[in-house]
Structures are given as C-alpha cells and as structure tokens.
C-alpha cells in the first residue's frame, strides 16, 4: 500500500498544531484544508479498515500527498487517518 511508510515528523507536527502545545519553531506550519460542501461524507480509514462518517466543512490536515490506486490523499481530522480525493479538499490557509 502507498501509505505504509508515513512521515512521522509531519504527523507529530500536525498533532502539535491541533493542540497548540510543543510547537517546533524551526519547522514550518502545515497548512490546514477543509472538506468542501455541507452534510456528511463517508471516507475510507486505512487504519480502521472501514468507512467513517465525517461532516463536511471541517478542518483537516493532509498527511501525505502520495495518491493511492483510487487517486486519494491521506488526511487527518483529529481522530482518524482518512483517504479522500483531492478535489473534495480546499486549502484554507491560516486565519
């Protein structure tokens, strides 16, 4: 599978950004994205090996831009690693 070797430093930076503690000032912040639309979407969770119901419009972080066989990238929503098509994401930047 394409996401077998993930960048653990990137995941650690995302978690630090989400909880606001222990940020490494020498590293660049990771730009957040938003799932486009309203309502719900079911996304594949490769770690849980099941579909997960997720609300659209929430802030997520892209963990890996490497695409799987279905052209999906890996994101983190604060609870799960999820696979989503990049067309369903919108980079929102820092507010």
Greatest extent of the chain over all pairs of C-alpha atoms, in Å:
38
This prediction has a pTM of 0.89
Q: What is the pLDDT of residue 1?
A: 64
Residue 9 predicted with pLDDT over 70: yes
Average pLDDT over residues 2-7: 80
Nearest-angstrom CA–CA distance, 59 and 33: 6
pLDDT, one tens digit per residue, over 20-79 is 887 777 788 889 999 999 999 999 999 899 999 999 999 999 999 999 999 999 999 999
Separation between Cα atoms, residue 22 and residue 37, nearest integer Å:
32
Give the pair of three-digit tokens for residue 53. Answer: 């119901």
Could you give the CA distance from residue 55 to residue 39 in angstroms, rounded to a whole number? 6
pLDDT band of residue 3 (cuts 50, 70, 90) is confident
Report the Cα–Cα distance between both ends of the chain, in Å, rounded.
Answer: 35
């Amino acid at each position: 599978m394409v996401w077998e070797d993930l960048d653990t430093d990137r995941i650690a930076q995302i978690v630090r950004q989400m909880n606001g503690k222990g940020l490494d000032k020498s590293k660049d912040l990771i730009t957040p994205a938003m799932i486009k639309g309203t309502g719900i979407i079911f996304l594949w969770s490769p770690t849980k090996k099941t579909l997960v119901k997720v609300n659209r419009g929430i802030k997520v972080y892209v963990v890996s831009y490497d695409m799987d066989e279905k052209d999906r990238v890996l994101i983190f929503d604060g609870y799960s690693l999820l696979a989503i098509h990049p067309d369903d994401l919108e980079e929102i930047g820092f507010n």
